[in-house]
Amino acid sequence: MNKSRLIAAAAIAAAVVFLMTPSTGGRDKTMTLDASHFGEKHVSEKGLEVATLAGGCFWGMEDLIRKIPGVLETRVGYTGGSLKNAAYTDVKTGMTGHAESVEILFDPKQVSFEKILLFFFRAHDPTTENRQGNDRGSQYRSAIFYHGDSQRKVADEVKARVDRSGKWGKPVVTQIVPAGEFWQGEEYHQKYLIKHPDGYTCHFIRDFSFD
């Protein structure tokens, strides 16, 4: 098997692990990416990276991000709060501190974290605090949950660049905070707009850059 096929096989295997990682306790759909489960070490050994982003209802955000070349897999869920084994019925109250989020497995040789963030800032309005479109509540906030100092630095730089550009007309309020436990959303939320092509979304790509 040549080198390119080996790399492709490794990427596919990692994507399968990303989807099949077993939960430990709580409800069946609970998954985390801390060191005891899928983990940063497992990702880095395969030359892949994980990004975790929140920008309103995760249906529309996931549907756009999953199409970026170099994104190998996505899943939606809840992070940023204190409640263990968070489920939609909890998070929708806006009382758990969790945000509806998209967890992204990507190949940095194909797409950089910076490019994913620039896309993210075109796919949602980062100037509306605890709101996206008609959806209101802290669970719909804009946030970047960084995995390590390198991602934090890139996130700070990209947010500042977006602000300086003035393209949104108002200050960017996107939170930049460390990634924590990620509780995978219920199966009916995963790839929702593939299952329901005419389903609800308030996300679309704006036709501007941040130069």
Q: Is 202 known to be catalytic? A: no
Give the residue from 16, 18, 56, 60 showing the smallest Cα distance to 182: 18
Active-site position among 31, 50, 51, 57: 57
* DSSP for residue 103: E
Q: 205: number of CA atoms within 13 Å, CB side?
A: 13
| d(C-alpha 176, C-alpha 153), whole Å | 10
Q: What is the 3-state secondary structure (H, E, C) of 18-79?
A: HHHCCCCCCCCCCCCCCCCCCCHHHHHHCCCEEEEEEECCHHHHHHHHCCCCCEEEEEEEEE
Q: How far apart are CA 80 and CA 175, in angstroms?
A: 10
Cβ atoms of residues 131 and 138 within 8 Å: no
- Please name which of 36, 172, 181 lies closest in space to residue 103, comparing C-alpha atoms: 181
Question: Which residues lie below 8 Å from residue 89, measured CB to CB, with a gap of 6+?
Answer: none
Task: List residues with catalytic annotation.
Answer: 57
